[in-house]
Structure 1
């Protein structure tokens, strides 16, 4: 298996220029080294594993540590749980990340880049694209439109820790621990609803 199609290579006066051309939320690597990855379009991606993977990606982009890239892969690709039917990943648990990283160390380095490419584009699409949820098209871009610049502990301009505790405070999905196991798209839908409610109240007060 090769991932040459994910990249564009061009010779310039400065040397070889390699750019990422992958632009799909379809996960073309559903299973790697016996580990199960997330479903296409982030359909089964929980908020907890998304938060862990986003933090690892942010660190990798900043320091280029292979350990951070491995942590990103381990957050998304885990052993299959027992049971019949389509294999699913064991639930994500931050405390088990070192264990998951040991399992993910079997993933070939070039496949780790493929996982990085998918997740990086998924994050971009989450902040800019449109998802089909319950038969309706939903765009989460308004949530991030006025987010502060990226700092440590934030991902692409929004603090995921802040999201965790603000949503937990509402009690819609339960405790902070419950939210970690809630689909990330559902959490984002809650944030979008709250923003729309605030915008409506703001417009009403300005009249």
Structure 2
């Protein structure tokens, strides 16, 4: 949290310094402003100022507007410049510049702040934090649909990608959750044949939420690819599975996964394709990591 102190008014405010420190209302409001900014509806300065006012709970009442109207231009410009500077200092973390100098939303969190999306009367359940409960098949399909969306920019392709991650409650949930072998999944089982059908639900989901999930999934792809994770109490790093060219951000998110995903599907170490797709994402990655380390060890020995 950032601390904002106004000693002359005896005010001390705590303002979130990261998305993870926001409550759901703050998250929705700030993401909405960020999306409008990157869509060209409002400027970046305006987006940051709006978010600053919202997070600091500053209300622009009738009196405040009236005071501004009688200010001289110099006083008004000075006040605005101070607000913009403060908003930049406290809310600048929400944006970043990409390699082309374009403004992007910097939604860098491993937590799924949107575990449940509402489409009309239907509730759509999503993955856990860090994609912990995602199957290999779900991830593979979502990655393929995401890459297609980046190519076409079509809303229908984004909806298909989201349908790989979010699905309605399974029809037998009330019955199966009482069984000893219940796997804990409330979502209906993943089925590629139902992607198009489930994608229809996302026509009624807020664009803000859809953009947020896309940003989160994109960040998670790069995070798993580059950072250290704790799995089963052990620190694991999968960066060795990817070439340096593909981890430096010069290709679209997910590029470095293509070879790995195809290799697993081809080798079938977990059984046929259907069985492999039902394996957990991290089970597959750990297998590939072991194979990679064994191959590297063989190469080292052969060079001696």
Cα shift readout 1:2-29 (whole Å, capped 9, x = no counterpart): 2524849535xxxxx6421111111000
Aligned mate of 1:32, from 99, 102, 117: 117
Cα shift readout 1:63-99 (whole Å, capped 9, x = no counterpart): 2111111011111000112134876211111111112
Q: Given that residues 77 and 104 in structure 1 are in contact (C-alpha distance below 8 angstroms), is that contact kept between their aligned partners in structure 2?
A: no
Structure 2: runs of 5 or more not aligned = 1-24, 38-43, 46-101, 179-183
Structure 1: runs of 5 or more not aligned = 12-16
**TM-score using structure 2 length:** 0.59
Structure 1: distance between partners of 2:203 and 2:264: 29
Deviation at 1:167, TM superposition (A): 4.2
- Between Structure 1 and Structure 2, the one with more helix by share is 2
Higher RCO (C-alpha 8 Å, min separation 6):
1
Give the match's secondary structure for 2:256.
Answer: coil
Give the match's secondary structure for 2:168.
Answer: coil
Number of residue pairs matched by the alignment: 198
Q: Given that residues 44 and 183 in structure 1 are in contact (C-alpha distance below 8 angstroms), is that contact kept between their aligned partners in structure 2?
A: yes
Structure 2: distance between partners of 1:31 and 1:204: 50
- State the match for 1:99 in structure 2: 197
Q: Flag the 1:147–1:166 CA change in 2: closer, same or farther, 3 A.
A: farther
Give the match's secondary structure for 1:157.
Answer: helix
Cα shift readout 1:160-199 (whole Å, capped 9, x = no counterpart): 551332441xx3x221111111111111111110000000
Q: Given that residues 36 and 77 in structure 1 are in contact (C-alpha distance below 8 angstroms), is that contact kept between their aligned partners in structure 2?
A: yes
Does the alignment pair 1:164 with 2:264? yes
- The runs of 4+ residues in structure 1 deviating greater than 3 Å are 5-9, 84-87, 146-151
Q: Flag the 1:201–1:98 CA change in 2: closer, same or farther, 3 A.
A: same
Cα shift readout 1:22-59 (whole Å, capped 9, x = no counterpart): 11111000000110000001110111111111111111
- State the match for 2:168 in structure 1: 79
Q: Given that residues 130 and 138 in structure 1 are in contact (C-alpha distance below 8 angstroms), is that contact kept between their aligned partners in structure 2?
A: yes
28-37 vs 75-84, greater mean Cα deviation: 75-84
Give the match's secondary structure for 1:28.
Answer: coil
Across the aligned residues of Structure 1 and Structure 2, the Cα RMSD in angstroms comes to 2.6
Deviation at 1:156, TM superposition (A): 1.6
Q: Given that residues 224 and 238 in structure 2 are in contact (C-alpha distance below 8 angstroms), is that contact kept between their aligned partners in structure 1?
A: yes
Q: Given that residues 159 and 200 in structure 2 are in contact (C-alpha distance below 8 angstroms), is that contact kept between their aligned partners in structure 1?
A: no
- State the match for 2:134 in structure 1: 45
- State the match for 1:14 in structure 2: none
